[in-house]
C-alpha cells in the first residue's frame, strides 16, 4: 500500500441540477478522477477512509446523493427521488465540475445511479463513451441473480404498492436494523470491532430528519425500475466492454455473490474478487480493497 492516510479530504458544496450538492474531494486536481457513488443507507462518509489511500495518485470525488448526507434539496425544486433522476443529477454534477473522464466506484445504490448516468451519456453524447474509463463494483448490482432473499419484503411492496407493505419496511430504517443487517451482518467475529459505530449512527440520524424516511421508502419502491432496467445495463456492458473490477463482500444478504460473478459474463476481462465480509466491505477490508482499486486504476488511467 503506497497511499497516505494523512491526506486531508476536503468537503465542499456545488450548485448543480438545482441542488446544493455536498461532496468530499482529495487528490491532485489534474490527476485521473475516480467518482465514488455511495449506497443505502449511507452517504459519502462511507468513503472517508478509502479516499486518503487513493488520493496520492488520483483525484477522488464522492458526492452525497439527493436525500442522503448533507446535500440540500430546495423544497421549491420539487425533486422526485428516483434512480433515473439520480443519474441525471450526478451527470450534471460531474459536468459542473468539468470532469471529462472518470472511473466510477459503485456501491449499492451507486450502481443504478451510475448506469443511469451512463445511459444518459450514451443518449446525449453518443461520442462520449470514453468518459467512463472503468467500473469498480463493490456490492453494486446489475443482475437479477444478485438479489438476495433479504429483498423479499421490498419485493412484496413492489407487487402490491400498498400502504401496509410500505409501512412494513419502516423498521429497516431504524438504527438497530441499519447496524445489524447492513454493517455487521456477515463480518467475521474477529473483525466486528473494526466497524466504526459512527457509520450506522450517522446514517440513522440523517434518515430520521423530517421527510427522510419517506424518501427512503420511495426509493425502495423505485428500485423495481432498476431491476427492469438490468437488461439495458447489461447490453451497455456487452457493447462498451469497460474495464471492470467486481470486489464484493460475499456475506451481504442483499447483494449476493452470483451478482458479482455475473459481471464476467458480459465483460470478458472483468476481475471478480469475493471477500470474507458483508455489505460494508470497506469497514473490515479497507487496505485490501484499496490496493485492488489502485492496481485497477493503474490499468485504466
User: Catalytic site residue 279?
Assistant: yes
Q: How many CB atoms lie within 10 A of CB 124?
A: 10
Could you tell me the end-to-end alpha-carbon distance of the chain, in angstroms, rounded to an integer?
18
Q: How many CB atoms lie within 10 A of CB 38?
A: 24
Please work out, in degrees rounded to the nearest 5, the angle formed at the alpha carbon of residue 231 by the alpha carbons of 87 and 249: 75
By three-state DSSP, how is residue 170 classified? helix
Number of residues in the chain: 301
Q: Which of 158, 119, 137 is nearest to 243 (CA)?
A: 137
Give the span between the Cα atoms of 116 and 130, in whole angstroms. Answer: 16
Give the span between the Cα atoms of 215 and 73, in whole angstroms. Answer: 12
Residue 21 pairs with which residues in a beta bridge?
Answer: 14
Query: CA dist 140 to 48, 55, 167, 245, 256, Å?
Result: 18, 22, 26, 11, 10
By three-state DSSP, how is residue 35 classified? strand
By three-state DSSP, how is residue 273 classified? strand
Q: Which of 25, 23, 12, 90 is nearest to 51 (CA)?
A: 25
Please say whether the beta carbons of 27 and 59 come within 8 A: yes
Give the span between the Cα atoms of 250 and 139, in whole angstroms. Answer: 9
Active-site residue among 38, 56, 251, 279?
279
Which residues are known to be catalytic? 279
Amino acid at each position: 500500500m503506497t497511499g497516505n492516510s494523512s491526506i486531508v479530504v476536503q468537503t465542499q458544496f456545488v450548485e448543480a441540477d438545482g441542488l446544493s450538492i455536498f461532496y468530499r474531494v482529495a487528490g491532485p486536481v489534474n490527476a485521473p478522477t475516480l467518482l465514488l457513488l455511495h449506497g443505502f443507507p449511507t452517504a459519502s462518509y462511507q468513503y472517508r477512509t478509502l479516499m486518503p489511500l487513493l488520493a496520492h495518485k488520483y483525484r477522488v470525488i464522492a458526492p452525497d446523493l439527493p436525500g442522503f448526507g448533507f446535500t440540500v434539496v430546495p423544497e421549491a425544486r420539487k425533486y422526485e427521488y428516483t434512480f433515473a433522476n439520480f443519474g441525471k443529477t450526478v451527470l450534471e454534477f460531474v459536468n459542473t465540475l468539468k470532469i471529462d473522464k472518470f472511473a466510477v466506484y459503485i456501491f449499492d445504490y451507486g450502481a443504478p445511479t451510475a448506469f443511469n448516468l451512463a445511459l444518459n451519456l450514451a443518449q446525449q453524447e453518443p461520442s462520449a463513451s470514453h468518459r467512463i474509463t472503468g467500473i469498480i463494483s463493490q456490492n453494486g448490482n446489475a443482475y437479477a441473480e444478485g438479489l438476495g432473499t433479504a429483498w423479499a419484503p421490498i419485493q412484496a411492496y413492489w407487487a402490491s404498492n400498498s400502504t401496509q407493505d410500505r409501512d412494513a419496511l419502516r423498521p429497516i430504517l431504524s438504527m438497530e436494523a441499519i447496524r445489524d443487517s447492513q454493517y455487521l451482518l456477515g463480518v467475521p467475529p474477529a473483525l466486528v470491532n473494526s466497524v466504526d459505530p459512527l457509520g450506522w449512527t450517522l446514517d440513522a440520524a440523517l434518515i430520521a430528519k423530517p421527510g427522510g424516511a419517506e424518501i427512503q421508502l420511495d426509493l425502495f419502491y423505485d428500485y423495481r425500475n432498476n431491476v427492469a432496467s438490468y437488461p439495458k445495463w447489461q447490453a451497455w456492458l456487452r457493447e462498451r466492454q469497460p474495464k471492470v473490477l467486481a470486489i464484493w463482500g460475499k456475506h451481504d444478504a442483499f447483494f449476493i455473490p452470483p451478482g458479482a460473478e455475473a459481471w464476467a459474463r458480459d465483460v470478458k476481462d472483468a476481475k471478480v474478487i469475493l471477500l470474507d465480509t458483508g455489505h460494508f466491505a470497506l469497514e473490515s477490508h479497507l487496505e485490501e480493497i484499496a490496493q485492488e482499486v489502485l492496481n485497477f486504476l493503474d490499468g485504466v488511467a
